[in-house]
Structure 1
């Protein structure tokens, strides 16, 4: 994740800093194949929509990732480059370029490039994923 274009200016932590930290923790959990840590960053009522997939709730996200980490996603890395972050009070919308690098890959194949939209919600100062959707990138 290269976020230099979104890095805030100055020393004070911002909502953008916290959001980028959420992404770092999310993809660290992916790299560790830790479905529990990954899903813990989602709200209990989160939704995930991807081509052919609809997951409702944190437990559905956890189960999907656990099955993936035990199977086709073992050793993979999720990549996500936030292109736009908009904070609207306690909600943030992040549009990103995303994809999955399978074990041994260093470059994301064109057929696995996605554009994603993340809806994040802040409760008690902590950001969590409320909704995620992606579609093939053109």
Structure 2
């Protein structure tokens, strides 16, 4: 029978870490509201991945470049919203966050069903700060 050394188990996350992880979607939303691709990309790790429907970007520079083009084009004038629905800490320095939300077209206050998404965020703590290592979203609803 294998025994587990209790000191090897992760400690419960601090309230500060829980709050920092839950705040990441807000940082993304703030950067998006300003259409600031630099601030958006700074939330990500250098070696991150970002998957959106039909899009795969690897690395902070690719995320920054993609968002700069998108803010000038398809996302011009839009806002984004994301509400945490679950957070799981894998270790003291890594967590998975699940959100629901989507893109708000100009003038909208609620996400339309057509643009509603669910997203998975893999977060890591580096140098005392939380960063987004991997992001993936998909449509919330599937047409019958």
Q: TM-score, normalised by structure 2?
A: 0.83
1:95 corresponds to which residue? 98
For the residues of structure 2 that align with 1:84 and 1:21, how far apart are their CA atoms?
Answer: 13
Instruction: Please list every run of 5 or more consecutive structure 2 residues that lacks an aligned counterpart in the other structure.
Output: 1-13
Q: Give the SS at the match of 1:14.
A: helix
Q: Is the 8 A contact 1:15 1:87 kept in 2?
A: no
For the residues of structure 2 that align with 1:63 and 1:134, how far apart are their CA atoms?
Answer: 19
Deviation at 1:13, TM superposition (A): 4.4
Instruction: Please list every run of 5 or more consecutive structure 1 residues that lacks an aligned counterpart in the other structure.
Output: 1-11
Please give the root-mean-square deviation of Cα atoms over the aligned residues, in Å: 1.3
Kindly report structure 1 stretches of 4+ aligned residues shifted beyond 6 Å: none
2:52 corresponds to which residue? 50
Question: Does 2:127 correspond to 1:124?
Answer: yes
For the residues of structure 2 that align with 1:23 and 1:96, how far apart are their CA atoms?
Answer: 8
Deviation at 1:86, TM superposition (A): 1.0
Greater Rg, structure 1 or structure 2?
2
Deviation at 1:16, TM superposition (A): 1.3
Q: TM-score, normalised by structure 1?
A: 0.86
Per-residue Cα deviation, 1:58-88 (whole angstroms, up to 9, x for no partner) = 1111111101111121221111011001112
Residue from 43, 59, 65 that aligns with 1:41: 43
Residue from 70, 73, 78 that aligns with 1:71: 73
